[in-house]
Structure 1
Amino acid sequence: MPTSTKFDQFKDYVRARGWRWKPGATIPYGEQIIVGDAASEVVANFWPKRGALNLQGRESALRAELQAWLDEHAKRGPTTTITGPHLGLDESGKGDWFGPVIVAAVYVDTSQTETALRKIGARDSKQIDSSLVSRLADQIERLIPAEHRRLQALEPGMLWEGADNMNVLLAEAYAQAARPVWRSAQASKIVCDQFSQRADRLDQAFAAAGLPKPLQQHHAESASIAVAAASVLASAAFARALETLGEMAGFGKPLPKGASDIQQLEAAARWIVARQGAQALKRYAKPFKPVMVFV
Structure 2
Amino acid sequence: MANHVIKATKMMIDEMRQHYASYITDHLPTGALFVAKLAGCTITAYRSGKVLFQGKEAEREAARWTNESVKESVPVQQPHWTAVSAIGSDEVGTGDYFGPIVVVAAYVAKENIETIKNMGVKDSKLLTDEAIRRLAPSLMKAIPYCSVVLSNPTYNEWQASGMPQTKMKALLHNEAIRKLVQQLAPLEPEAILIDQFIERDLYFRYLEGEKEVICERVYCYPKAETIHVAVAAASMIARYVFLNEMEQLSKQVGMELPKGAGEQVDQVAAKLMETHGLSVLDTCAKLHFANTDKARRIAHI
Per-residue deviation, 1:8: 4.1
Equivalent pairs, count: 258
| Aligned equivalents of 2:54, 2:107: Cα separation in 1 | 34
Q: Secondary structure at the match of 1:43?
A: strand
Alignment-derived partner of residue 212 in structure 1: 215
Trace 1:15-164 onto structure 2 (pairs within 5 A).
35-36=33-34, 42-44=43-45, 75-79=72-76, 80-81=78-79, 82=81, 83-111=83-111, 113-144=112-143, 148-163=144-159, 164=162
**Cα deviation digits, residues 217-241 of structure 1 (max 9, x gap):** 1100111111000000011111111
Q: Is the 8 A contact 1:199 1:216 kept in 2?
A: no
**Residue 10 of structure 2 corresponds to residue 9 of structure 1:** yes
Residue 120 of structure 2 aligns to a residue whose secondary structure is coil
Aligned to 1:280: 280
RMSD between aligned alpha carbons? Answer: 3.8
Q: TM-score, normalised by structure 2?
A: 0.73
> What is the CA distance between 1:11 and its match in structure 2?
8.4
**Contact 1:87/1:187 (<8 A) preserved:** no
Amino acid paired to 1:286: K
Give the aligned residue type for 2:103: V
C-alpha distance in structure 1 between counterparts of 2:85 and 2:173, whole Å: 19
Measure, in 1, the Cα distance between the counterparts of 2:275 and 2:180. Answer: 40
SS in structure 2 opposite 1:97? coil
Match of 1:103, SS state, is strand
Whichever residue aligns with residue 154 of structure 2, its letter is M
- Gaps of at least 5 residues in structure 1 are 24-32, 58-66
- Tell me the TM-score normalized by structure 1: 0.74
Equivalent pair of 2:35/2:44 in contact (CA under 8 Å): no
Deviation per CA, 1:78-123, whole angstroms, max 9, x where unpaired? 2444231111100000011010000001011232x11111001111
Q: Is the 8 A contact 1:34 1:42 kept in 2?
A: no
Residue deviations 1:169-213 (CA, integer Å, cap 9, x gap): 221111111112112224342111112357523465287423124
1:237 counterpart (236, 241, 251): 241
Query: Are the equivalent residues in 2 in contact too, given 1:123–1:232 (CA < 8 A)?
Result: yes
Q: Determine the C-alpha separation between the residues in 2 that align with 1:194 and 1:53.
A: 21
Instruction: Provide Cα deviations, 1:112-136, integer angstroms capped at 9, x if missing partner.
Output: x111110011111111122101111
Whole-angstrom distance in 2 between the partners of 1:105 and 1:215: 13
Which residue identity does 1:196 align to in structure 2? I
Q: Is the 8 A contact 1:102 1:151 kept in 2?
A: yes
